[in-house]
Chain A
Amino acid sequence: MTAVAQTQRETGLTGNSAIAYAMMQINPDVCPAYPITPSTSVIEEFSSYVADGKVETELIPTESEHSAMSAGVGASAAGARVMTATSAQGLALMWEMLYIASGMRLPIILTDVNRALSAPINIHCDHSDTMGARDSGWLQLYSETVQEAYDNLIMAVRIAEDKRVQLPIMVCLDGFITSHAIENISLLSTEAVQGFVGEYTPDSALLNVENPATFGAMTLPYAYMPLKKQQSDAMTASKPVVEEIAAEFALLSGRNYGLLEEYKLDDAEVAIVVLNSSAGTVKDAVDTLRAQGKKVGALKPRLYRPFPHAEIAKALSGKKAVCVLDRADSMNGFGGPLFTDIRSALYSDANRPQIIDRIYGLGGADFRVNDALGVFDELFKVQETGQVDELIKYLTV
């Protein structure tokens, strides 16, 4: 059980406790869930809030994640605000329903505590679960810290339900590293969170008996394709909404979030791109090298879907050498998902840098400051020679 004192705004919390606490503050209508490591304690703690009467949420313990997301789709179509959490195989079992949720434009809010996909079975952190869902039509926000995960989840509600968006959203944080480590966090008051997220009022809902509607009807090609365009347009249109809501959130919390975080990147000649908790490790390496006068920097995308391709290309344009760190391999023979996206985003930039991909941290493998320093050493060599010896490589193996 979380040790949050109701009156205290500054506290130490694990990532999962912070997510459960944010869910309590948001007070969703329905939470269908099937707990799985390492996201288990999100649902465990949230169910305590339900049992203690702190929320009015209908908690539905399902028999699988496929059922959890199915119940989520039904409840969301009925007009409910739906939140759930999962990891790895749980997200994989939701696969079919992820596409149904996005295609039906249901703004379901899911926390994924990143964990490696089996086989071999492994419960530790990597991004293969959410990377596999990157093209499922869900927005994806990644979180470096407990604070960012908490803040992302609160913003996620507004982004997903915005009339210009109306798409499901995934908030991702690193399994065990962020989910189970206690960090200092500044909490908003429940009143402030309630005021920020507001009420969910869908235009059509199954429970709206005044205006009955049909959901999930079959479409023939002449309607399927334009509906996909409609969905794709909404995905594109969501990018400025993410920025707009972050600006509004900054007024409330004093914390600023962009689509990307640029760390000492402005005058950097070489840079590392990395998602989630390892950004902290890379920033440490940047500080070490900056102290030696080396022009290095880091780029941490916070929004990954929709992919902020123009913003990333702008941030990396003119750098001499860039390494993309991927905590998942696409198994496509051409590197990790973040690498192929970023390399593609840079294609039409006249001042594009040399770029390499390094796969790291699979199945919870350690990625230390020394490993980040090793990557910078490789980048210095690329900068010096202008040559890339190894385009794609697994680190620390």
Chain B
Amino acid sequence: MVKNKDFTMLDAKDLPLGGVLPDAGSAEEYETGGWRKLRPIFDPEKCIDCLTCWVMCPDSAIYVEDDKIAGYDLDHCKGCGICAEVCPDKVQAITMVEEEN
């Protein structure tokens, strides 16, 4: 991925042919968490570790360790709230709260 945090015009000579990115999976380097308006707050006391949220997260932004939810990758979580939506009604371990900034 071409790193260009200050958004200045790149040189055609430095770009791969036709915009082909020579590294696979480079989207991980692009931190999209800054788009987030709502932040997921997770309550481990309520969680039953069904992992439905982990399956449904469109940004693969939920960490799992030893078959248990271990938190969020906030560099990539866009705050869509799907995790809170799919958390079983009787559990409701995830709450979406407004980001302060």
Contact = CB atoms under 8 A, between A and B. Distances in A.
A222 B18 contact: no
Contacts of B25: 212, 214
Interface string A225-263: 111011101000000000000000000000000000000
B10 A226 contact: yes
B18 A105 contact: yes
Interface string B1-39: 010100111111001111111111111000000000000
Contacts of A227: 12, 15, 18-19
A387 to B, nearest CB: 47
A64 interface: no
Nearest to A102: B18
A344 B19 CA distance: 32
A104 interface: yes
Interface string A104-142: 111000000000000000000000000000000000000
Contacts of B17: 105, 166, 203-204, 230
A166 B8 contact: no
Contacts of B26: 214
B19 A166 contact: no
Contacts of A223: 2, 4, 10, 15, 19
A350 interface: no
A204 B22 contact: yes
A233 B11 CA distance: 13
Nearest to A230: B12
A226 to B, nearest CB: 4
Contacts of A230: 12, 15, 17-18
Contacts of A226: 9-12, 15
A230 B14 CA distance: 10
B9 to A, nearest CB: 5
A291 interface: no
B15 A104 contact: no
Chief secondary structure at chain B's binding surface: loop
Interface residues of A, number: 26
A176 B9 CA distance: 49
Given A223-B10, A226-B10, A104 B22 contact: no
A230 B15 CA distance: 9
A259 to B, nearest CB: 25
A212 B21 CA distance: 9
Given A166-B18, A223-B4, A230-B17, A213 B23 contact: yes
A8 B3 CA distance: 58
Nearest to B18: A105
Given A223-B4, A226-B15, A227-B15, A213 B21 contact: yes
A152 to B, nearest CB: 24
Nearest to B7: A222
Contact of B24 (A212, A229, A233): A212
B24 A214 contact: yes
A215 interface: yes
B29 to A, nearest CB: 11
Nearest to B11: A226
A387 B26 CA distance: 63
Nearest to B24: A212
A214 B11 contact: no
Given A227-B15, A230-B15, A214 B9 contact: no
B17 to A, nearest CB: 5
B22 to A, nearest CB: 5
Interface string A85-101: 00000000000000000
A231 B18 CA distance: 7
Nearest to A217: B21
A6 interface: no
- A-B complex: 3 closest residue pairs judged by Cβ atoms: A105-B18, A212-B24, A214-B21
Given A166-B17, A213-B24, 4 more contacts: A166-B18, A214-B24, A215-B21, A226-B12
8 contacts: A105-B18, A204-B16, A212-B24, A214-B21, A214-B24, A221-B7, A223-B15, A230-B17
